[in-house]
Amino acid sequence: MPRIYLATTNPGKVREFREAAQALSIALDPLPRMAEVPPAIEDGSTFEQNARIKAEYYSRLSPGELVLAEDSGLAVDALNGSPGVHSARYAAVLQSGVALDQNSDDQANNAALIAQLKRLNQDRYTGKYVCVIAMAQDGETLATFTGEAPGELLTVPRGTQGFGYDPLFYFPALGKTFAELPLEQKREHSHRGKAFRQFLNWYGRQPQ
């Protein structure tokens, strides 16, 4: 079975990618020795730049292997696209005003987002999740794939599944937040599921 290494430190992403690969004839394995190196410096200004940075950096750990990394986040229209590339460290960025390397926990990020939204005092807050997957080998990006999921932001959390901003991310077509969806259903509609399906399409066309 062909193998792809998954380079992410986020357990929520790992769960979703592994569920997506379950029924496929591809082994999606955690990248060995990732914890032994300092984390990649995500200093790009776009999701694509950061996805490339991570995939290229971590692919150097396993010469010759295909490495998948992704950068993702939430963009809220009324907040001019924030938290954007700072989604994982939004609480810390708002507090300090600088883009620290250290991620904040989900609870702190959600509380920070709710506080920002409440200041706007609107009826509806539209936004989207974005995910860019980058595939790299030996420090070079081979391809990138983007998926987006449009939705609305709540100021009262709903649901216990998923991770990150999912309890606040309401998907009108289903009348539920992403935290109220089982993995399979989230994959069908999510930014990550869409980017992954594009990746599979590309991968299926590669000479094996």
Site string for ligand ITT, 114-153 (x = CB under 6 A): ---------------x------------------------
CA triple 84-54-9, angle to 5 deg: 80
Q: Name the segment binding ligand ITT (CB under 6 A); options: 6-14, 20-28, 153-161, 199-207.
A: 6-14
Beta carbon nearer to ligand ITT, 198 or 205 = 198
| DSSP run (H or E) holding 76 | strand 67-76
- Active site includes 71? yes
Which candidate, 142, 161, 148, 169, places its Cα nearest to that of 69? 142
CA triple 178-183-187, angle to 5 deg: 75
Q: Name the segment binding ligand ITT (CB under 6 A); options: 65-73, 115-123, 140-148, 153-161.
A: 65-73
Asked whether position 10 contacts ligand ITT by CB under 6 A, the answer is yes
Cα(32)–Cα(200) distance, rounded to whole angstroms?
22
Which two structure tokens, joined as six digits, stand for 138?
Answer: 């030996």
Smallest distance from ligand ITT to CB 74, Å: 6
User: Which residues contribute to the site for ligand ITT (CB under 6 A)?
Assistant: 8-10, 13, 42, 54, 71-74, 87-88, 103, 109, 129, 162-166, 178, 190, 192
Instruction: Give catalytic residues, as residue numbers.
Output: 71
